[in-house]
Amino acid sequence: HVQLVESGGGSAQTGGSLRLSCAASGAASRIECMGWFRQIPGKEREWVASIHRDGFANYADSVKGRFTISKDSAKNTLYLQMNSLKPDDTAMYYCAAAEGGGAYCFLAAAYEYNYWGQGTQVTVS
């Protein structure tokens, strides 16, 4: 089993930056892809970005050029650097991990992930 714990959420002003972290523990070697999703009340969980363990990354159009997903394999930690934040980025952000996904991790659906963190709130005003 894999445990995921997010941190780094908080409040930011429009145009500001935040960095989210997600620490993985347990059977982390089973993970092939990791991703970030976000969700606002009453809406479905929205894919933000994903990254393969070899480093190939994908982004939703809404965040491309503003957000950067990265990982530190030695620390089993996933990051999401969020720049040029907008009020529309306000949401609960979730870290997710998948045991599969292929070489490019084109995993944009929540059901494709096996493990989830508890979420961290990001508020942009």
pLDDT in tens, 11-69: 999 999 999 999 999 887 889 999 999 999 999 999 999 999 988 999 999 999 999 99
Question: For 116-121, what is the mean pLDDT?
Answer: 97
> What pLDDT shows up at residue 85?
98
Q: Which residues of 14-24 are buried (b: 16+ CB within 10 A; e: fewer)?
A: eeeebebbbbb
* pLDDT over 90 at 72, yes or no: yes
Picking from 36, 10, 31, 47, the residue whose alpha carbon sits closest to that of residue 117 is 36
Distance CA 18, CA 32 (A): 25
pLDDT > 90? residue 102: no
Name beta bridge partners: 93. 38, 120
Q: Is residue 101 scored above 90 in pLDDT?
A: no
